[in-house]
């Protein structure tokens, strides 16, 4: 008998990669997506796949789709910094109310396991490296805040209602189908679209800032392990466990570079302590950044229709970011 899995945000970058993996694992899959950021073209037709256009902020519309579901993978949400500053209510409705609704429906139908896509942005400017799961929580903008509030709900449903939940704090996930905006995979989508258009790669600051990247194939391997495990009520950092400079990414992609002002509210370093997730699930990242970027370059046509960011467009798009966050002590 096939497992029935439900993936919110299943047409997005991470969601569509997970759906493909679940189908390969012989799951039947229901995707809930309002296509605000996801693309229908990310999902190939499959007799075991059902796609439903709906918004998770409407409980009455989504509840019935959870009947008989075994696993819920909650990836839906809004993940852009500037829009979250401009319209925090929209982010609260999606990332907090939406998460609450998905939890309610999951609990009502007593699903087997609930996996939540949290964000490492909850750490703000970490005061220790590598950053472990007990590090100080200090969200720097509404996106980060609402994702952390969603995580608190997920943990609460485990504690009070005994819903088997796990929260995965994603660091910098990259790979096929990554976006050109937002938190996940943004730098790769931006650089690849610029490379296609023969425009210089826009590097924020001096490019020596580091990020902790993880290929989406390694992520989907881990997500399945968390779903099948008996572990519940735990929070995990999910990353590659290595610091990689943005300049190194630019070098791997190739092309001319242009440097733009450093953005306030963004940390100079990112390095996750992933010992807990490696130990509990006997998991480790396998894809090197060199191989991951090479594979992306072989699929570069995916970003042909993506918007091309130029320094002037970036300045306009991030104006409110600079105005509101420039007074921060770490800016």
Tokens of 61: 């519309």
**Residue 201 and residue 110 share a domain:** no
Whether residue 14 is contained in a domain is answered as yes
Question: Residues 210-222: pLDDT tens digits?
Answer: 999 999 999 999 9
Say if CB 157 and CB 165 are below 8 A apart: yes
Residues 160 and 203 in one domain: no
> Is 191 among the domain residues?
yes
Look at residue 180 in the predicted model and tell me its pLDDT: 65
Give the domain CATH number at 208. 3.90.25.10
Q: Indicate whether 190 and 234 sit together in one domain.
A: no
Three-state DSSP class for 295? helix
In the block, residue with structure tokens 């789709």: 65
The residue annotated as part of the active site, out of 116, 143, 174, 236, is: 143
Q: What is the CATH classification number for the domain harbouring 46?
A: 3.40.50.720
Radius of gyration (C-alpha) of the chain in whole angstroms: 19
Residue 110 domain boundaries: 4-172+213-238
What is the Cα–Cα distance from 284 to 242, expressed in whole angstroms?
A: 12
**Residue after which a domain boundary falls, among 238, 255, 274:** 238
Tell me which of 222, 238, 254 is where a domain ends.
238
**Buried-state track 79-112, b at ≥16 Cβ within 10 A, e below 16:** bbbbbbbeeeebbbbbbbbbbbbbbbbbbebebe
Is position 315 within any domain?
A: yes
Cis peptide, bond prior to residue 130, ω within 30 of zero? yes
Is there a domain that residue 150 lies in?
A: yes
Helix (H) / strand (E) containing 278: helix 275-281
Tens-place pLDDT, residues 163-201: 999 999 999 999 999 876 654 448 898 999 999 999 999
What is the pLDDT, as a whole number, of residue 219? 98
Q: Closest Cα partner for 138 from 119, 158, 114?
A: 119
- Weakly modelled stretches of the chain, pLDDT under 50: 183-185, 328-331
74 and 28 together in one domain: yes
C-beta separation of 272 from 120 below 8 A:
yes
Structural domain includes residue 81: yes
Query: Which residues make beta-bridge pairs with 30?
Result: 6, 50
**Residues 159 and 196 occupy one common structural domain:** no
Residues 149, 135 share a domain: yes
Number of domains, the chain: 2
Are 80 and 193 members of one domain?
no
In the prediction, which pLDDT does 266 show?
80
Residues 115 and 132 in one domain: yes
Listed residue (27, 37, 1, 94) closest to 10, CA to CA? 37
89 and 162 in a single domain? The answer is yes
Q: For residues 70 and 198, state if they share a domain.
A: no
Asked if residue 46 belongs to a domain, the reply is: yes
Q: Is 190 in the same domain as 229? A: no
Is pTM, for the whole model, over 0.85? yes
Ordered DSSP codes for 263-299: PTT--S---B--HHHHHHHT------HHHHHHHHHHT
Determine the pLDDT at residue 323: 77
Q: Does residue 271 lie in a domain region?
A: no
Answer yes or no: is 272 within a domain: no
Q: DSSP 3-state assignment of 10?
A: coil
Q: Is 143 a catalytic residue?
A: yes
What's residue 80's pLDDT?
87
Domain match, 150 and 186 both: no
């Amino acid at each position: 008998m096939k497992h029935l899995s439900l993936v919110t945000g299943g047409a997005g970058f991470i969601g569509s990669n997970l759906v493909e993996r679940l189908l390969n694992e012989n799951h039947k899959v229901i995707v809930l997506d309002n296509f605000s950021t996801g693309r229908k073209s990310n999902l190939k037709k499959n007799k075991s796949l059902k796609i439903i256009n709906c918004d998770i902020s409407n409980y009455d519309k989504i509840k019935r789709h959870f009947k008989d579901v075994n696993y819920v993978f909650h990836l839906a949400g809004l993940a852009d910094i500037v829009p979250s500053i401009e319209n925090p209510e929209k982010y609260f409705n999606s990332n907090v109310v939406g998460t609450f609704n998905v939890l309610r429906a999951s609990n009502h139908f007593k699903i087997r396991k609930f996996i939540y896509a949290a964000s490492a942005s909850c750490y703000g400017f970490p005061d220790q490296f590598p950053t472990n799961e007990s590090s100080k929580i200090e969200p720097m903008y509404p996106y980060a805040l609402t994702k952390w509030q969603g995580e608190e709900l997920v943990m609460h449903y485990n504690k009070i209602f005994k819903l088997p939940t796990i929260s995965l704090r994603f660091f910098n996930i990259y790979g096929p189908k990554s976006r050109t905006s937002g938190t996940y995979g943004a730098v790769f989508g931006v650089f690849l679209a610029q490379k296609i258009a023969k425009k210089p790669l826009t590097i924020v600051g001096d490019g020596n800032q580091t990020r902790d990247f993880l290929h989406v194939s390694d992520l989907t391997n881990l997500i399945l392990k968390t779903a099948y495990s008996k572990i519940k009520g735990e929070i995990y950092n999910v990353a590659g466990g290595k610091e990689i400079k943005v300049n190194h990414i630019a070098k791997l992609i190739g092309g001319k570079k242009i440097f733009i002002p450093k953005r306030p509210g963004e940390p100079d370093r990112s390095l996750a302590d992933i010992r807990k997730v490696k130990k509990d699930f006997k998991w480790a990242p396998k894809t090197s950044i060199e191989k991951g970027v090479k594979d992306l370059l072989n699929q570069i046509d995916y970003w042909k229709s993506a918007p091309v960011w130029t320094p002037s467009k970036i300045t306009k798009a991030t104006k409110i970011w600079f105005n509101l966050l420039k007074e921060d002590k770490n800016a």
